[in-house]
Amino acid sequence: MSSQEFVVLNVGGVRFVTRASTLQQFPESRLARMLNDDDREFKLVKGEFFVDRDGTLFSYIMDFLRTLQVSLPTDFSDYQRLQREAEFYGLYPLADLLNQEHLLKPKLEILEVRFSLQEMQAFFRIFGSCSTTVEMLAEQITLFTGQQLGQSWNSPFPTQKPLVPHPLERPSHHDMVLRCGSDYIGDQFVTRYVSIKPDNRKLINGTNVLGLLLDTLLKDGFHLISTRTVSSEEKVECYTFERMKRPAGLALAVHQTPGKSGALGATRTQAQKGK
């Protein structure tokens, strides 16, 4: 069979259409031998190869053959069953990767927002278990400061200097500190604004900033799991979020070794971050 021809498989009642070359990625597998009528498990019925196996799990096997990567949904749990299917089809490199279940499982990510409202200022401290998420959030947030000039003979009314952007305070890779509102520094009246992308507003009110920050986290897939008062005297409130997310680098790729039919080596697609 030409490697350019299309093949139709019926796996447990679910139809798949692919190229023969895709099924021949691993010459020693049963799928490759099937094309040469070398496996009795696969019956050719009305132009379709039929096999009495799980069609839903076979969709992940097809994805692996097309991409040479293992990338499963965050809610996937049938690792052992999928490994058993991979062994049935003779895709032992895939079975070996699935055996590293601890690398493929999604991680629970926790993020905490502490908020304190004091007189004319609001203070925020954000802590995240994943430093990559904190870094991405820090890139979305910009602080601006502006100073109000006093009155003079030439200008009887106070004037506002242009707003100046400032970097966030980053005590560590896992947290950041910011504040907004108004304050007197010496004889100057200083205002601090917060902007969170993609929203273009520059907000000075702490409650408004908190609302926009929480909304941003919810849109990013976080779920609010608890709110509590950390310090009633200092009026510090704590909002705790969580989400299930596969960290970067947990999708495993395999690459054929040149000159060796079916010889494979497993590699990480990229270095794991945020730990």
Residue at 255 is within a domain: no
Structural domains in the chain (count)? 2
Pairing of β 159-160 and β 141-149: antiparallel
Residues 204 and 236 in one domain: yes
Could you give the CA distance from residue 30 to residue 139 in angstroms, rounded to a whole number? Answer: 49
Residues 173 and 226 in one domain: yes
Residues 116 and 241 in one domain: yes
Q: Sign of the CA dihedral 265, 268, 269, 271? A: negative
Model pTM score: 0.61
Could you give the CA distance from residue 209 to residue 220 in angstroms, rounded to a whole number? Answer: 17
- SS3 of 23, please? helix
Partner residues linked to 243 by β-bridges: 109
Residues of the chain under the 70 pLDDT cut: 1-4, 148-161, 186-187, 246-275
Residues 229 and 146 in one domain: yes
pLDDT digits (tens, 9 = 90+) for 172-188: 999 999 999 988 776 67
Please give the single-letter amino acid code of residue 189.
F
Domain with 153 in it: 108-245
Residue at 270 is within a domain: no
Residue at 98 is within a domain: yes
Helix axes 55-67, 79-88, angle to 10 degrees: 70
Q: Which of 78, 103, 128 is the last residue of a domain?
A: 103
Residue at 231 is within a domain: yes
Residues 85 and 197 in one domain: no
Distance of CA 2 to the CA centre of its chain: 40
Residues 131 and 233 in one domain: yes
Residues 19 and 124 in one domain: no
Q: Which of 103, 119, 151 is the last residue of a domain?
A: 103
Q: What is the DSSP letter of 104?
A: H
- CATH code of residue 64: 3.30.710.10
Tokens found for residue 250: 């947990």
Residue at 1 is within a domain: no
pLDDT at residue 2 in the model: 47
Tokens found for residue 68: 């040479």
Residue at 266 is within a domain: no
pLDDT at residue 30 in the model: 93
pLDDT at residue 131 in the model: 92
pLDDT at residue 260 in the model: 39
Residue at 77 is within a domain: yes
Distance of CA 224 to the CA centre of its chain: 17
Q: Which of 64, 83, 103 is the last residue of a domain?
A: 103
pLDDT at residue 171 in the model: 93
pLDDT at residue 68 in the model: 86
Residue at 194 is within a domain: yes
